[in-house]
Amino acid sequence: MPDEHLKIGVLAVQGNFREHAAVLRRLCAEPVEVRKVEQLEGLDGLIIPGGESTAIARLLRIYGLEEAIRRFAGPVFGTCAGMILLDRDHLGLVDLTVSRNAYGRQVASFEADIDLAGEDEPLRGVFIRAPRVAETGPQVAVLAKLDDEPVLLRQGRFLVASFHPELTDDTRVHERFLELVREETSVRA
């Protein structure tokens, strides 16, 4: 269901933030580019896009956004580099560890159909120098797998994907995130 009043921040320091903003607009949510701490105020959710996690991590520190994102109380969706940033070794918000660029040189980037829990239609996953999930804590639920390895996971208000759902026309993963945001906003209201 389209939802005109959901305001979703998209961390816009580096990487695929424009593509995420475009998907949000298609789903009638309002994207807000986030580069400063104060821009996190009043948001219903936040997306941390793919890109280069080392660059994004450095910019987060420079802009003072690291602590601000840790304090952000709403749902957060991290894709690819965004998933790396949320893991135990970075922001420490999701109880998982990943290996960066772990699909090897030959197949560093590829597309594959992945099965989404609860759906018949597979999802086309675009993997670009993707991280591989190495370990997950007990609170982490696996929502989609590729070759028996988790590629879409949820821990409470956090959703993480090792692929790029913003690069295909299939909006189902973003729809799931907006559902999560709607659930959380009704709980907090």
Q: How far is residue 44's CA from residue 73's CA, in Å, rounded to a whole number?
A: 9
CB of 71 to ligand GLN, least distance (A): 23
Q: What part of residues 110-139 is at the interface with ligand GLN (CB under 6 A)?
A: 128-129
Residue whose CB is less far from ligand GLN, 126 or 142: 126
Choices 5-13, 17-25, 47-55, 60-68; region in contact with ligand GLN by CB under 6 A: 47-55
Among 9, 31, 45, 50, binds ligand GLN (CB under 6 A): 50
CB of 129 to ligand GLN, least distance (A): 4
Instruction: Kindly name the residue from 20, 80, 90, 174 that is annotated as catalytic.
Output: 80
Give the count of beta carbons closer than 10 Å to the beta carbon of residue 135: 12
Catalytic site includes residue 166: yes
If DSSP states are collapsed to H, E and C, what string results for the chain? CCCCCCEEEEECCCCCHHHHHHHHHHCCCEEEEECCHHHHCCCCEEEECCCCHHHHHHHHHHCCHHHHHHHCCCCEEEECHHHHHHCCCCCCCCCEEEECCCCCCCCCEEEEEEEECCCCCCEEEEEECCCEEEEECCCCEEEEEECCEEEEEEECCEEEECCCHHHCCCCHHHHHHHHHHHHHHHHHC
Q: Does 80 bind ligand GLN (CB under 6 A)?
A: yes
Residue whose CB is less far from ligand GLN, 7 or 100: 100
Among 52, 66, 170, 179, binds ligand GLN (CB under 6 A): 52
CB of 84 to ligand GLN, least distance (A): 5
Residues with catalytic annotation?
A: 80, 164, 166
Name the site residues for ligand GLN (rule: CB under 6 A).
Answer: 50-53, 80-81, 84, 100-101, 128-129
